Structure 1
Amino acid sequence: MSKPYVQIDPRDNIIVAITTLEKGLSVTIQGKELTLKESIKQKHKFALCHLAVGDDIFMYGVLIGKATKPIEAGCAITIENVKHASSEFNDSKEKFTWEAPDISKFKERTFNGYHRKDGKIGTSNYWLVIPLTFCENRNVDVLEGALSEKLGYETKKDFAVDTDALIKQYKAGASNEAIFNTPIITTKEELSKNRLFPNVDGIKFLKHDGGCGGTRQDSETLCRLLAGYITNPNVAGATVFSLGCQNAQIAMLKDAIKALDPNCEKPVHYLEQQKSESERRLIEQAVKHTFIGLAEANKLTRKPAPLSKLVLGLECGGSDGFSGISANPALGYASDLLVALGGAPVLAEFPELNGVEQELINRCVTDADSKKFYNLMRAYSEAAIAVGSGFENNPSPGNIKDGLITDAMKSAGAAKKGGTSPVVAVLDYTEQVSKPGLHLLCTPGNDVESTTGLAGSGCNIIVFTTGLGTPTGNPVAPVLKLSSNTELFERMNDITDINAGTVISGEDTIESMGEKILDHIIKVASGEIHSKAVLHGNNDFIPWKRGVSL
């Protein structure tokens, strides 16, 4: 950006500092010159004009707060002088038109994916091990210990320790010196080269604390979520542990799978401990079922697929004052490109759509979806208020420190991930993506709960924008981290995939960055490169119990 400050929308009465601005600096905006009355930190905002108590404050062209104290032009906007405020909305749509972006660079592109019998295409090929209740988490751990490293899959660290080599030396009567000189460290890269099943990307173990206790609805929701993971195109099959007496019954999961895919042909093996001869027998059967399942999954190879088969999760976390002007709108442009190519982006995190509801309602293709979104947002907001909270409490300490001081300010920037295309469907938590075009999915603002929900609704790849940095990943959907600023990308390059900070520096436009993002998505979807979250084994999985989570 050419200037050290920017007015994002002509209607805005606060200005973003691109770099730290010193007191006394003269700035000119819309032909109006003013002098800063105090220093403004990078990513923070200052008032364009005098604001009296109760005056509306606008950013991104929408209401994001009200002044709680008089604010002079050129003074900082802070949590001490501003409170959250957002525009009212209704379920009546206004006229909406959309001009699709130029897709000539991508029209003939494909990605190499795993073709499933139901017509979906996976960007990865995983086998799942799932407990229906937390009581079975130990058995899941035992199975992981028996299979993961032995078959060449990920360890908890960047390397594996081959203690068997020392045992072999000892039994052979080797000297202490020979034992000490025996190589026993194997890196993840070396392990992956020695995989018994090279066409299977991994075994994923979805441990959780649910399935029993709580409400019956919690268990029903959990089973629908797990069914979404089993039917996700990135999954070849599953081994399911059940205790037997829990709320989340095997029959409940089977019904949930049938509801999503009546003709599901994926192998799913159910093992109920209370019907087993012994725990040893249970584990033995689980190991053998999983091993055979992996052998079958290994027969599948990557083949070309159209970009219309990409279901792209749009996520943000650890956002900063640049997220809404670099990473999020650039991802939004990539989302628009994908829509024009026949793909399906999915925008989630409903607490972070507070203040832009009317815009999204206007973009809904059908009246039914505009009303559904209206009702879901109202219900979520009322549930938060009922427990003494509210959407205004969504911004984290990190958000506030880096310039996002109200939920509406954060939301207006977060919504940019969804681009400008029409909304073809509004989904409640665990409902599935079933058509091309932009979807809205009801999830919490909590990063892991939201990414968990995105994969559970069918996303086969996720892009996660961040301004502060986060290692978050997902067990089945590759998660790409998109940095809003170059300083973060350089400092946390080990966990960050793409740098949108070049939009801030002026090296890229929103459009050119969006094209780079889509190109990177295609490479990851094809298995040409791996996301940092996959390389580090970040397999975060937290089911949402439908309580209030901001």
Structure 2
Amino acid sequence: MTAVLPDAPQRTVSPLIQLHANDNVLVARAPIALGQELPEFGLRMRAQVPAGHKIAARRIAAGEPVRKYDTVIGAAMRDIEGGEHVHTHNLELIDFDRDPGFCEDVRPVDYVPEAERATFMGIVRPDGRVATRNFIGLISSVNCSATAIHHIAAHFTPERLAPYPNIDGVVAFAQTSGCGMSSPSEHFDVLRRTIAGYARHPNLGGVLIVGLGCERNQVADLVASQGLTLGSHVKTFVMQDTGGTRATIAAGIAAIEAMLPAANDVKRQPVSAAHLKIGLECGGSDGFSGITANPALGAAMDILVRHGGTAILSETPEIHGVEYMLTRRAISAEVGQKLLDRLAWWEEYTRGHNGQFNGVVGPGNQAGGLANIFEKSLGSAMKGGTTPLQAVYEYAEPIDKAGFVFMDSPGYDPVAATGQIASGANLICFTTGRGSMFGSKPAPTIKLASNTPMFTRLVEDMDINCGAVLDGEVDVQQMGQRIFEHILDAASGKKTKSEELGLGNHEFVPWHMGIVS
């Protein structure tokens, strides 16, 4: 799918964007008034249309497929005349059979020779893992120990950490589950896998796991089942054994103080970009997300993959309807089928519920110009670029293959990002059109704005303005290069906007899949 954007001089003046020659809708670059004449497209506007929304390029008959980026996003509910607003009031979601075309679009990757690959200033752990940040983490096995770990983390103020300049902070990863749940169960396994993924994350220079004592997610069983090794780097406490709340907080503070000298004894050094694992997120998407930020991030991921790195696409409900774009790039039929199996699981999981997978996107998405999940998925999938799909992983499953991969997750951003970090992502790239205030630890988040007005309005939260593509300043590939360079800077320790704002202390949200009893 190649955008047919006008050349640079026209981009700043043309009110409409044609994304593909076969499309029967156009996208409004800016708000368009009722009755406005658009002679270059042979149209007279029959409605007032907000920026990012769709306009019929010609008459679309009732039942006719509506195409955007030469992809079917629905069908006309009724006859739609050229110049009409095309949105939820006249666009119907239709399901249809899609040929998965396993492996048909696999193209060889032009890898950069190892000696010539881009580098960043990373922290190399004794076992060879590479970190982009250096936190000490506290993890609760159950909600009942959440307050205790927050109190322990709060003790370590910037003043108290001043003698340890190589430590980025002490952060509490509290969660709301761990008991009152079915065990054994898939939900139980996912929770333990997520906790273990954080406990062994290279961005944590020390870890303390705190439990209550009577919960289903027993600390000793958690450690044993996940193959965690206790020692100076990973310690555990059980509140009922330690002496209660006050005693656990005191013991936790002492344990972290003992970890500080060794955790601080690190230095950054040049390492290959092949050590980067980037989680790809989008939230608060709008009609421009699939035109600017998402394809530009995809271009950056193509560069990263060429340099040996890993791009992790997730949010399974947000590829629904365009999954063939990924199955056709799968390196094998088995990889492609695994993705289809996850989608089939989601279809059953969401049956009978008004979830996004079943068609209805959020109010912010709709206000931004996205009519349904197929249209949203069309933009969301672009974050993964164009390289072959190497593997499909379960939520929070350790990622052991380089290149473009997929990790199953909900579309809810904190849950998806939590799973990506547990899988090994050491940085998150997050595109947004409406504006997201998300941040994450221990892996930092870079936020990419899809349009200039939002970037300007929320400049304290946004790292990169991909609206420059829409404004005619750069093309998608040039923006992709900018994003890649920004990734290298952030991985080297340059703080992102969300880090400067102190975000990430409350965004650890493991996936709740099952019952609460």
CA distance in 2, matches of 1:369, 1:266: 39
Q: Is 2:6 aligned against 1:4?
A: no
Counterpart pick for 2:369 among 373, 378, 403: 403
Task: Give the counterpart letter for 1:82 in structure 2.
Answer: L
Structure 1 374/149 Cα, relative in aligned 2: closer, same or farther at 3 Å?
A: same
Verify: 1:516 aligned to 2:482, yes or no.
yes
- Counterpart of 1:16 in structure 2 is 27
Cα–Cα, structure 1 residues 547 and 515, in superposed 2: closer, same or farther, change >3 Å? farther
Alignment of 1:301-316 (within 5 A): 301-316=267-282
Partner of 1:492 in structure 2? 458
| Counterparts of 1:147 and 1:15, CA distance in 2 | 54
Structure 1 pair 103–509 and aligned structure 2 pair: CA distance change class (3 A): farther
Alpha-carbon spacing, 1:257–1:7, altered in 2? closer, same or farther (3 Å) = same
1:252 counterpart residue number = 221
AA matched with 1:16: V
Matched-pair contact (CA < 8 Å) for 1:67–1:81: yes
Question: Partner letter of residue 221 of structure 1?
Answer: V
Aligned-partner Cα distance in 2 for 1:435–1:461? 17
Which residue of the other structure, out of 435, 445, 451, is the alignment partner of 1:469? 435
Q: State the identity as a percent.
A: 33
Count how many residue pairs are aligned between Structure 1 and Structure 2. Answer: 498
Query: Closer, same or farther in 2 for the Cα pair 1:373/1:264, shift >3 Å?
Result: farther
Deviation per residue, 1:387-413 (Å, 9 max, x gap): 354624441111101101111011101
Residue 81 (structure 1) aligns with: 90
SS at match of 2:138: strand
Task: Answer yes or no: is the 8 Å Cα contact 1:316–1:466 preserved in 2.
Answer: yes
- Rate the CA distance shift 1:407–1:101 in 2: closer, same or farther, 3 A: farther
Q: 1:456 aligns with which of 422, 427, 435?
A: 422
Question: Which of 497, 500, 514 matches 1:532?
Answer: 497
Q: CA, structure 1 residues 122+129, in 2 after alignment: closer, same or farther (shift >3 Å)? A: same
Whether the 8 Å CA contact 1:236–1:266 is kept in 2: the answer is: no
- Equivalent positions of 1:160-199 (< 5 A) are 195-199=162-166
Deviation at residue 546 of structure 1 after TM alignment: 2.3
Give, in whole Å, the separation in 1 of the partners of 2:335 and 2:480.
27
Q: Is the 8 A contact 1:392 1:406 kept in 2?
A: no
Q: Which amino acid aligns with 1:208?
A: Q
Question: Using the alignment, how far apart are the partners of 1:372 and 1:364 within structure 2?
Answer: 10
Counterpart Cα distance in 2 of 1:394 and 1:292: 51
C-alpha change, 1:347 and 1:265, in structure 2 (3 Å) is farther
User: Is the counterpart of residue 135 in structure 1 residue 144 in structure 2?
Assistant: yes
Spell out the pairing of 1:79-478 with structure 2 (5 A cutoff).
Answer: 79-89=88-98, 93-98=102-107, 100=109, 107-152=116-161, 195-216=162-183, 217=185, 218-258=187-227, 267-387=233-353, 389=355, 391-478=357-444
How many Å separate the matches in 1 of 2:290 and 2:97? 22
1:26 and 2:15 equivalent? no
3-state SS of paired residue (1:98): coil
2:62 matched residue in structure 1: 53
Task: Return the offset for 1:279.
Answer: 3.9
The TM-score, its normalising length taken from structure 1, stands at 0.86
Contact 1:212 1:219 in 2 (8 A): no
Structure 2: distance between partners of 1:514 and 1:118: 32
The alpha-carbon deviation at position 253 of structure 1 amounts to 2.4
Q: Which residue of 2 aligns with 1:183?
A: none
In structure 2, do the counterparts of structure 1 residues 290 and 69 end up closer, same or farther at CA, with 3 Å as the change threshold?
A: same
**Pair 86,477 (structure 1): closer, same or farther in 2 beyond 3 Å:** farther
Distance 2:123 2:323 in 1: 37
* C-alpha displacement of 1:145: 3.0
Superposition TM-score, scaled by structure 2 size = 0.92
C-alpha contact 1:227 1:256 (8 A) present in aligned 2: no
State the 1:547 CA deviation.
5.3
Letter in 2 for 1:248: N
For structure 1, the residue ranges without an aligned partner over 5 or more in a row are: 153-194
Aligned letter for 2:204?
V
Q: Could you say if the C-alpha distance between residues 256 and 467 of structure 1 is closer, same or farther in structure 2, counting changes exceeding 3 Å? A: farther
Specify the code of the residue in structure 1 equivalent to 2:121.
N
Question: Bigger CA drift: 363-372 or 500-509?
Answer: 363-372
Compute the displacement of 1:251 (Å).
3.0
Moved more, 420-429 or 44-53: 44-53
Identify the residue that residue 170 of structure 1 maps to in structure 2: none
**What is the rounded CA distance, in whole Å, between the counterparts of 2:350 and 2:514 in structure 1?**
9
- Cα offset for 1:98? 2.4
**8 A contact 2:103–2:332 mirrored in 1:** no
Deviation at 1:245, TM superposition (A): 1.3
Query: Compared with structure 1, are the counterparts of its residues 278 and 44 closer, same or farther at alpha carbon in structure 2 (3 Å cutoff)?
Result: closer
2:57 and 2:292 mapped to 1: Cα distance?
22
1:124 positional shift? 0.3
Aligned to 1:185: none
- For the 8 Å contact 2:102–2:332, the answer to whether it is kept is no
RMSD (Å) for aligned C-alpha atoms: 2.1
Secondary structure at 1:385's aligned position in 2? coil
Distance in 1 between residues matched to 2:84 and 2:110, nearest whole Å: 39
Give the direction of change, closer, same or farther, for the CA distance of 1:40–1:390 in structure 2 (3 Å limit): closer
**1:18-41, CA deviations, whole angstroms, 9 ceiling, x for partnerless residues?**
122332423445xxx333333332
